[in-house]
Amino acid sequence: MAHTAAAFKVDYFQFLKPDGKLVEDQQVPALARDFDRLTELYKLMVLTRTFDKKAVALQRTGKLGTYASSLGHEAAHVAIGAAMKEEDCFAPMYREYGAQFYRGVKMSEVLLYWGGDERGSDFSGPKHDFAWCVPIATQCLHAAGAALAYKLKKEDRVAVTVVGDGGSSKGDFLEAINAGSAWKLPLVLVIVNNQWAISVPRKKQNTAATLAQKGIAGGLPSIQVDGNDLIACLWAMDKAVSAARQGKGSFVIEMITYRLSDHTTADDARRYRPGDEVDEAWDREPLKRLKAYLVDQGAWDEQQDEELLGECKKWVQQAADEYLEMIENDPQPVTAMFDYMFAELPQDLIEQRTYAQEYAEDGGHH
């Protein structure tokens, strides 16, 4: 006779609704009353969005290369950064600026990277954090490897990585889940599901009801949260990171959000994405609801908000100036492409570097 060999469910958590009110039908975590922390993170979300706008403007005026916007992902990204300790390891994909800013990466460094200058990846965040990872989902296995390293070295550190809804279709992601399960690694895998992998919508990746259940299939506790709700994202991240740190193994969190921008500045989403879908998504975006909540609770006001916006614009402009100053007045010499190839440059490459210097004037910046 047939019996149920296994059963599972995926819980979905939302605490802060799009209208800025807390949900009423379930208990809200204590951090919803931690206005100091929420205000601090709201400020970082606003800074991240201000930065994003500037970066796109720099690209549009020919001062930056292709740029991957984080518009709409601010709550998810900032929560990821805020739940981690400095000694933890972050393995990002390529648009989690909110998390990276929290960890000390400078805005000018993000601009350097997308501005075609390797010095951006030598950033001011934790030296053990991975740099941006363009080959999709490969970072998941690096994070799993980092987690295994901490386990072997008996260090209380956690590796956190991010993948998109598209990246969740790759073996690397599934293999990282499997590794986290097999070795009970201190690993948190976050799927930032923004509904679009360039032009391919979430429903075309597969017909699974959730992406979180891929974690369950591999044996990991896995949940879904509203990725536009900072409180839900932060609550989930806090829980997962601290449990991973206590040796309870790996976790998967699927954060449901929406890519309000094009995939990158090289993309034009109008070719494939209905405009009304984007308009509706703006109603659910993360900043507006958090601001409304904080104002409603008396923890924030309009004047503070205006001042903050002014400050953010100033900081972002300073970062842009710093970036432009570096690429214009202190560009990397041709030798820079050789100098970090090996700890010690082999003779053949020393000769190639000398030859390259003779032709350093060729192929100038174009």
Which residues would be at the binding site for another protein (CB under 8 A)?
Answer: 65-66, 113-118, 132, 134-136, 164, 166-167, 169-171, 197-200, 204-206, 264, 266-267, 271-272, 327, 331-332, 334, 336-338, 341, 348-349, 352-353, 356, 359-360, 362-366
Are 45 and 310 in contact by the 8 Å Cβ rule? The answer is: no
Tell me the C-alpha distance between 250 and 146, whole Å: 13
- Residue with smaller CB distance to another protein, 27 or 207: 207
Does 128 qualify as catalytic in the annotation?
no
CB of 44 to another protein, least distance (A): 25
Does 263 qualify as catalytic in the annotation?
yes
CB of 350 to another protein, least distance (A): 11
- Residue with smaller CB distance to another protein, 182 or 200: 200
Tell me the C-alpha distance between 61 and 43, whole Å: 27
The torsion of the CA quartet 230, 282, 225, 168, rounded to 10 degrees, works out to -120
Q: At what angle do helices 74-82 and 286-296 cross, to 10 degrees?
A: 70
Burial of 220 (C-beta count, 10 Å sphere; 0-12/13-18/19+) = buried
- Tell me which of 103, 259, 284, 289 is the catalytic residue: 259
Retrieve residue 22's tokens.
């807390």
CB of 337 to another protein, least distance (A): 5
Helices (H), 153-285: 171-183, 202-205, 213-217, 230-245, 275-282
The position carrying tokens 């104002």 is 295
- Tell me which of 263, 273, 284, 289 is the catalytic residue: 263
- Residue with smaller CB distance to another protein, 13 or 132: 132
Does 49 qualify as catalytic in the annotation?
no
Burial of 351 (C-beta count, 10 Å sphere; 0-12/13-18/19+) = exposed
- Tell me which of 37, 60, 272, 340 is the catalytic residue: 272
Q: How many Cβ atoms sit within 10 Å of the Cβ of residue 359?
A: 9
CB of 264 to another protein, least distance (A): 8
Separation of first and last alpha carbons in the chain: 72
CB of 243 to another protein, least distance (A): 29
Catalytic site positions: 259, 263, 272
